[in-house]
Structure 1
Amino acid sequence: MPEAILLDDKDRWIAGAAGIAVFADRLILDAQPPIDDETLQTVAARCSGPLPEALIALWRTSFGGQLDYQLDGQISFTELFYPESDGYDDLWGWIEHETGSEPCRFLPFGGFEYLDRLYVDTADGPGNGSVVYWQQGLPPGWELRQGDRADGLAPDVRALFGQLALEDDPWESGDADAGTEMRDAIEELSGPEPRVAGKLRDLVRAAVLDWRSALAAGTIAGRPRLRRLALDRAAAAGDPGLLDRLATAGCDLAEPVGGGLTPIDIALINRRLDAAAWLLDRRVPVINTLRTAAHAVSADLARKLLDRGAVVTADAVQRAADNDDPEVLRLLAARLPSWAEMSDYLMRLRMLTAQARHAADRSGDDRSRDRAAVLTEIVARITAGAGS
């Protein structure tokens, strides 16, 4: 195991002066001062049971701040709520939002804007301190699952922080999705305090998910988060060789790796058609491929996916409207079970129809005229409320 990275009291004071706190080996940026006893008692008085020890420990370290890590799945956790923060709401506002004047069992303590919120269970009993989340559903066509959702996330706040990780090393990847704010804060500290900055840098790098080492060691199949990340990266890069190595190591090529997307969905979204064809040859399920990637497939591939059982929904048809080949749109529109669900996309399709007509008039080519004709027919059927 790697050697533990220890910060002494002086290290923590230096980091704190730069707005960085450390809890459970994870960095908090824009760290707020620790909670005082009076505020802690005020929060506790709003709850249905005792405040969990791990949450108190977090607040004694930093009563609010920003996080720059990733959680497994689609949950975002970038803010620790605190009084008078400048986010969508502060701690008191979120408590009022959840409970009004009633005792608060599930105490909101962090999240992402208004879309994702994390709570600790304050009820007295064995579940005290467990972390749950709520996530707002996105509009039709944005994701495979519909509606709001909620579920358990971690046994306590320390375990939750242990789940915070990075998919890329922010010092090595110029387009890392997370970690760059921590990198910049540490580099700013490295001039005046190189020793402390080095320890913080090591802490951040220790949270990077190393799926390559797990693959080389033959342990990746038993490590779900690394396994899913590796499948995602292999599919997005269009790398059949890596996909084959992962399959040989025991990874399931049909496993959902994020937001319900499987490797073939990801390959198609990224227009990695060779990798998609390789996966098709392995007979992976294709049920959602047209819902996610109808904009990227050829007409021949669309027919093959339809023959394999890919479903056609309103979001698949509206994505096909962005395909350069109008035949894909025609194929999917002919398979749509009900036109009623297309009404959510009527305004956008009208706009695309007008653009297609203009392009056809300007270019005069057959494909532009065909695209305009297909879109015009679809808009007419939606407007008329035609049946299946």
Structure 2
Amino acid sequence: MNDIRFTPDELSTLRQHGVVLFADRVIFDAQPPMPEAELAAVQAACAGPIPEALLGLWQQTAGGRLDYDLSLEMQGNLEAISWNELFWNGSDGYNDLQGWIEHELELAEEAAQESGTPWSGKLTHLPFGGFEYTDRMYAVVEPGAEHGQVVAWKKGLPPAWTHALHQDSVNTVAAELHGAFAALHLDEDPLAPTSDYFSGQTLLEYLDDRHEEHGLDLDLMDKLVAYYRRAVADWRTPLTAGTLRHHPALARVAVRHAVGADDGELVAQLAAAGIGFDGPLQGSALATDVAVSHGAYAAAAALVRAGAPVAADVLRNIDGQISPELTQALLDNGAEPDVQAIVKCAACGAPASAHLVAEACARADIDVPPAFAVERDAMLKDLEDTLAKIQGGAYSHYLGQEGIAERIGHLQTFRL
């Protein structure tokens, strides 16, 4: 599958269907090449030359979409970077290249004025991709040792977003654009996903449309999908070879797969292979945090048995019918009892776990009954408001109307 080549005619046909191959990755919804006049206008805004690799990209396509995974360490978190767009002139949305250039010029001028330093009127970092207003990719265009580097910026979210990045942050993706494209990968095989939402979903839907509505040949489409799937992270081969522990990035992908598939046996296999479960797996969340919040309770129990660290606030992330055995294991290994967790367990139909947490709260000198009443009433109001919005037809929720109603019923009938 790794040696897939396309003939000039096949590449031409793909181009007609909005698909361009660049640096071993697939760009779809690809725009025409950037005209020389537009290239010159971009160059005029830069403090140094546009990197050759970026020029090469724009000479093939002036913008388009990507559908891969990318993670970077930022502020101690492991952050998923949404690099779904390649900006292009003429867009009337978030992926407007000239709009982002003007935005960056305004910010640079304001920063220079505030600091009282002279400003050249030129960009040192050229925005060329990202996702809406939350994630952005830059090419360093300032002359010097860092010229050509690709840098990712991510917007911090409010403190209420648990485990999210709370400060705007940057990190280097690669020394140049081809390396940045090489960093794009697929955590999961899009033809065998472990969740309802996965990288590759958008591209596959795009190709299906090109086949059904625009006549893209099915064999060529399948060949392109096979080419695309070469980016699937292969952690299974080093796991079998006993070398996975030497590849931390691949090991994290394997742990994410085990959690996503709720595969306790794989967690045990990874532990036996020497894979550690310390450090963040998603944002600032530990592997046990992610497993508990996703209802991957077999994986969570296996992680605890394997000695994975348990965060003090993990019980606040319960969102399913957690067993009393796992609840007790979490409490025994570092989870702090919390009245909000009692309410969540009760709402999710896990009364035995709710009572275990309540007993632990009482041992921690928490006056449980009044605190529970306050938290329960607040959650009931929130659930009832959500249900009313769903019934009004103007709101959707991942639990659906029946799921919300079920949680309301559990809370109304639960007794300490």
TM-score range, shorter chain: 0.7 to 0.9
User: Aligned residue for 1:127?
Assistant: 146
2:345 aligned with 1:323: yes
Residues 265 and 99 (structure 1), Cα distance of their counterparts in 2 relative to 1, 3 Å cut: same
2:202 aligned with 1:181: yes
One-letter identity of the residue aligned with 2:133 = Y
- Aligned partner (choices 180, 187, 192) of residue 167 of structure 1: 187
Alpha-carbon shift at residue 366 of structure 1 (Å): 8.0
SS at match of 2:291: helix
User: Aligned residue for 2:169?
Assistant: 149
Alpha-carbon shift at residue 330 of structure 1 (Å): 8.9
Query: Is 101-110 or 173-182 further displaced after alignment?
Result: 173-182
Alpha-carbon shift at residue 279 of structure 1 (Å): 2.7
Alignment size in residue pairs: 355
One-letter identity of the residue aligned with 1:322 = K
One-letter identity of the residue aligned with 1:120 = A
SS at match of 2:59: helix
Once residues 331 and 245 of structure 2 are traced to their aligned partners in structure 1, the CA distance between those partners, rounded to angstroms, is 31
One-letter identity of the residue aligned with 1:203 = Y
Alpha-carbon shift at residue 15 of structure 1 (Å): 0.9
Once residues 150 and 274 of structure 1 are traced to their aligned partners in structure 2, the CA distance between those partners, rounded to angstroms, is 35
2:264 aligned with 1:244: no
User: Aligned residue for 1:206?
Assistant: 230
Once residues 284 and 355 of structure 1 are traced to their aligned partners in structure 2, the CA distance between those partners, rounded to angstroms, is 34
SS at match of 2:344: coil
User: Aligned residue for 2:245?
Assistant: 221
Given that 1:295 and 1:319 are in contact with CA atoms closer than 8 Å, whether structure 2 keeps it comes out as no
SS at match of 2:173: strand
Structure 2 stretches lacking a partner, 5+ long: 72-78, 110-120, 367-373, 386-404
% identical equivalent positions: 35
Alpha-carbon shift at residue 120 of structure 1 (Å): 0.8
User: Aligned residue for 1:374?
Assistant: none
Deviations 1:67-108 (A, max 9, x none): 112213411111111112132251111112222263111111
User: Aligned residue for 1:352?
Assistant: 379
User: Aligned residue for 2:284?
Assistant: 260
User: Aligned residue for 2:82?
Assistant: 76
User: Aligned residue for 1:86?
Assistant: 92
One-letter identity of the residue aligned with 1:204 = Y
User: Aligned residue for 2:5?
Assistant: 6
TM-score with structure 1 setting the length: 0.78
Once residues 365 and 176 of structure 1 are traced to their aligned partners in structure 2, the CA distance between those partners, rounded to angstroms, is 30
Given that 1:269 and 1:293 are in contact with CA atoms closer than 8 Å, whether structure 2 keeps it comes out as yes
Write out aligned runs for 1:29-40 (5 A): 29-40=28-39
Deviations 1:318-342 (A, max 9, x none): 66643315654796699799xxxxx
Once residues 28 and 384 of structure 2 are traced to their aligned partners in structure 1, the CA distance between those partners, rounded to angstroms, is 51
Residues 323 and 107 (structure 1), Cα distance of their counterparts in 2 relative to 1, 3 Å cut: same
Alpha-carbon shift at residue 143 of structure 1 (Å): 3.2
Deviations 1:139-187 (A, max 9, x none): 3342324222211111111111112222333334484512133234445
TM-score with structure 2 setting the length: 0.73
Once residues 219 and 229 of structure 2 are traced to their aligned partners in structure 1, the CA distance between those partners, rounded to angstroms, is 16
Given that 2:295 and 2:319 are in contact with CA atoms closer than 8 Å, whether structure 1 keeps it comes out as no
Deviations 1:296-334 (A, max 9, x none): 55677656545543468xxx7666643315654796699
SS at match of 1:323: helix
2:310 aligned with 1:286: yes
SS at match of 1:245: helix
Write out aligned runs for 1:87-102 (5 A): 87-88=93-94, 90-100=96-106, 102=121
Structure 1 stretches lacking a partner, 5+ long: 338-346, 371-388
2:350 aligned with 1:309: no
Given that 1:234 and 1:243 are in contact with CA atoms closer than 8 Å, whether structure 2 keeps it comes out as yes
RMSD: 3.6
2:44 aligned with 1:42: no
